Amino acid sequence: MRQRIKLHIRGIVQGVGFRPHVFRLSRKFNLSGCVFNDLRGVTIELEGESGRIKDFVRTLKKSAPKISSINRIKEKRIPLTGTKGFSIIESRLGKNRIASFPSDIAICSNCKRELFDESDRRYLYPFINCTDCGPRFSIIEDIPYDRKKTTMRNFKMCGSCLKEYKNPLDRRFHAEPDACFSCGPHIRLLKKLKEITPVLDTQEILQKASCLIKGGKIIAIKGIGGYHLACDAKNAKAVSRLRKLKNRPTKPFAVMVENISALSGVCVAQGAEKKLLACPSRPITLLRIKDKKPWINEVCPEQNFLGAMLCYAPLHYLLFYYLKQFEKFPVLVMTSGNKGDLPLVASEDELCQIEEYADFFLVHNRRIHVKCDDSIARIFNGKEIIIRKARGYTPDFVNFAHKKEILACGAELKSTFSIAAGGHLVNSPYLGDLKNYANYELYLKTLSHYKKILDVAPQVVAHDLHPSYMSSQYALSLKNVKKITVQHHHAHLASCLFENNINKRAIGICFDGAGLGKDDAIWGGEFFITDKKNYQRAGHFKYFGLLGADKAVEEPARIAFSMLYDIFGEKLFKLNLNCLDYFKRAEKNIFCNLIKDKETVRSSSAGRLFDAAASLLNLKHKISYEAEAAVSLEMLAGRAKTSDCAYGFSISRENGIYIVSWQDIFSEIVRDLKTKKDKAAIAYKFHFTMAKIIKEVSLLLRRDTGINNIALSGGVFQNFLLLNLTLKLFKGKGFNVYYHKRIPTNDSGVSIGQAVVANENI
């Protein structure tokens, strides 16, 4: 029987070659009709034999383009029209837009092949792309995803490109960034920002740039979502100079390589790591270092892991093509092009911010509309875990049955926001720390863009309990919206429950750096009985004092001092520990008086306990980047050769809440230091103790409640040694243990949790 149906497809179906794929399938099944983009996805009208239509739909679900994602297909029967043939027609505008749009993705194998094919008209063209690859979200100004609504609108296609663009059977049919040497963007190499360079041949530019890099120069290179600062990773002087210029004494740099062979013998990369490195999202992937060559020590000092990514833009591949004339396997430092904690530089007008860092600037004239930093991920237990979600992973559309449109404003550090609209929960990219006002401005600009393209006006706004966070300040400034306050660690745990589709109560364990508690203390070593709606605080680490509040975060030695004073009193001055010698006598006297007068901020933060242990072991008394002390402790523990054993600790109960003491842990660490125990063994033992505490408190809470589900969240669980030990101790205990994979366990995941909690409490 002949019939006509309308299919409405929701998901990642624009800008991914979906319509050409539908066109080819219609021919295969001898169906007539049309396909077009709309503001909510893609609409298909099909006319033909009912059996062929069913085969079409079944095949479409199985064979959709690899970078697309079908979330829902809505089918409706409509009257026959008798039309002949199948066509791709203009996008149709309307109300209620909520199209899922694609992320920026790496160059595909076909374009890479053409890039180095001397007979191809795009041979060595730095902006080659097709419907299967290239920039996407970073160039979108509005939707539907059509060229006129992207930053490519200023480049008029030449005849050859236009012919490809209009041919449904061509790989570049409606590839919105499509271009070539004749009509597309071009690169320039500048020594001074205001200089006007002569029009040079692309090959000459790339040849010169590669020579400069091998000569030890630092080059600012414009990529997909912003600028990188690049230098030869094997040139110690160049890397050291970049460190000094950026005032980045020890924070690891990421590197870029053309293929994993460049790191052969240096890092461990199994099948899962190789697959992650080469996936279209091309994240920075953490690889275990097995041979600490001299250049590795300069690129990532004191680390057990190297952050590496493969080339993802054609320009990167071309640069490596010319670098290979000097060595077989070049390695480049590729670090974010920004000043201090300022946002990523993405336009030529902003280059003055990093002018002092770079000797030359490799620029191009394809405008970046949405800044996007590199994503970071790693393999754990054979699965991908996202640490920083940005280029290649955002915008991230997840099915979400929300009651109203919700804006969740996120946290202060590692900031993101999330929007619930149109049956989705949409998470923004990583936007930096909002303590810096420039990052807050980027936050507002990005939020404005999302609200525009999603066409949403949230009725509910969720925000952190801490009223001084800039994200909370923004939420509280909004008018005519329902405002819902969400405790920081409840948001963390709700995001974990949401990700793992857990709708029952769980024992929630949130080990974090900081989050305001309802008693005005800084929480962070928390045990909750929780679900997506409510939480009950069931346990925490015993409070300790933060000397100077935020100053204690910057100087872990202050935390160590406070804890030692609690344990030893005035006798701490006889301990002869480096963390105490870090301070002058006058400072120590001030600290003693502050502690006696109880003029310190109370905290239960697990993150600060790791910091204190690092200071006790003389690793870091002052940090130059967030979590540096805790990372140093993890790296040291990872090099230990020891059996599993724990320090002493006690668990008491006060007013129905379990209190975990830390005094015995730190007094025993002091004892081990006095007896010259191996510091790596001490660091490992500390980690094992923290994991054992998690297990023991969980057993008590299960006894009290009968709950077997465990949710782990919070920034401290970025410590994969702790996570691994925790899972190991839970094994065989009858618990169902859930942790983050797709949602970052750090504060970037807080906005998702806020949206989930708000939706439950509307």
CB atoms within 10 A of CB 413: 18
User: So what's the pLDDT on residue 12?
Assistant: 80
Q: Is the dihedral of CA 85, 89, 94, 97 positive or negative?
A: positive
- Which of the listed CATH numbers 2.40.50.140, 3.40.50.300, 3.30.420.360, 3.40.50.12280 matches domain 400-486? 3.30.420.360
What phi and psi values does residue 706 have, to the nearest 5 degrees? 80, 10
Nearest Cα neighbor of 487 from 439, 417, 536 is 536
In the chain, where the domains are located? 2-88, 103-185, 187-376, 400-486, 522-531+538-738
CB atoms within 10 A of CB 525: 29
Q: List, as one string, the DSSP characters of 625-646.
A: STTHHHHHHHHHHTT-------
- DSSP-assigned letter for residue 504: S
Q: β-pairing, 255-257 with 305-310?
A: parallel
User: So what's the pLDDT on residue 460?
Assistant: 98
CB atoms within 10 A of CB 442: 20
CATH class of 103-185: alpha beta
User: So what's the pLDDT on residue 196?
Assistant: 67
User: So what's the pLDDT on residue 95?
Assistant: 52
Dihedral angle computed from the Cα positions of residues 51, 55, 58 and 62, in that order, rounded to the nearest 10 degrees: 180
Q: Is the dihedral of CA 679, 627, 644, 690 positive or negative?
A: positive
Residues 6+ apart with CB under 8 A from 371: 138, 225, 226, 343, 344, 346, 442, 446
CATH class of 2-88: alpha beta
- Give the pLDDT confidence of 278-303 residue by residue, as tens digits: 999 999 999 999 988 899 999 999 99
Q: List, as one string, the DSSP characters of 301-367.
A: TT-SEEEEEE--SHHHHHHHHHHTTT-SS--EEEEE--STTSPPP-SGGGGGGGTTT-SEEEEESS-
What phi and psi values does residue 668 have, to the nearest 5 degrees? -75, -30
Q: Is the dihedral of CA 18, 23, 28, 29 positive or negative?
A: positive
Q: Which two tokens stand for residue 286?
A: 């953490």
User: So what's the pLDDT on residue 198?
Assistant: 65
Element (H, E) at 408: strand 406-408
Provide the residue type at 209 as one letter.
A
Task: Please say whether the beta carbons of 559 and 611 come within 8 A.
Answer: yes
Nearest Cα neighbor of 233 from 353, 364, 360, 335 is 335
The parts of the chain modelled with pLDDT lower than 50 are: none
CB atoms within 10 A of CB 749: 31
Task: Please say whether the beta carbons of 275 and 261 come within 8 A.
Answer: no
Angle at 416 between CA 410 and CA 420, to 5 degrees: 75
C-alpha distance from residue 624 to each of 119, 243, 247, 562, 629 (Å): 51, 12, 9, 21, 9
In angstroms, rounded to a whole number, what is the distance separating the alpha carbons of residues 64 and 61? 6
User: So what's the pLDDT on residue 66?
Assistant: 76
Task: Please say whether the beta carbons of 304 and 639 come within 8 A.
Answer: yes
User: So what's the pLDDT on residue 195?
Assistant: 72
Q: How many residues in the chain? A: 762
Q: Which two tokens stand for residue 38?
A: 């709309």
C-alpha distance from residue 271 to each of 109, 278, 289, 382, 759 (Å): 19, 11, 16, 9, 40
In angstroms, rounded to a whole number, what is the distance separating the alpha carbons of residues 225 and 370? 7
Q: How does 375-394 read in b/e, with b if 16+ C-beta sit within 10 Å? A: bbbbbbeeebbbbbbbbbbb
Task: Please say whether the beta carbons of 173 and 164 come within 8 A.
Answer: yes
In angstroms, rounded to a whole number, what is the distance separating the alpha carbons of residues 719 and 722? 5
- Give the pLDDT confidence of 682-727 residue by residue, as tens digits: 999 999 999 999 999 999 999 999 999 999 999 999 999 999 999 9
Q: Please say whether the structural domain 187-376 has been given the CATH code 1.10.150.20.
A: no
Task: Please say whether the beta carbons of 655 and 694 come within 8 A.
Answer: no
In angstroms, rounded to a whole number, what is the distance separating the alpha carbons of residues 328 and 265? 15
Confirm whether 2-88 and 400-486 share one CATH topology. no
Fold entry, domain 522-531+538-738: Nucleotidyltransferase; domain 5 (3.30.420)
Burial of 77 per CB tally in 10 Å (0-12, 13-18, 19+):
exposed
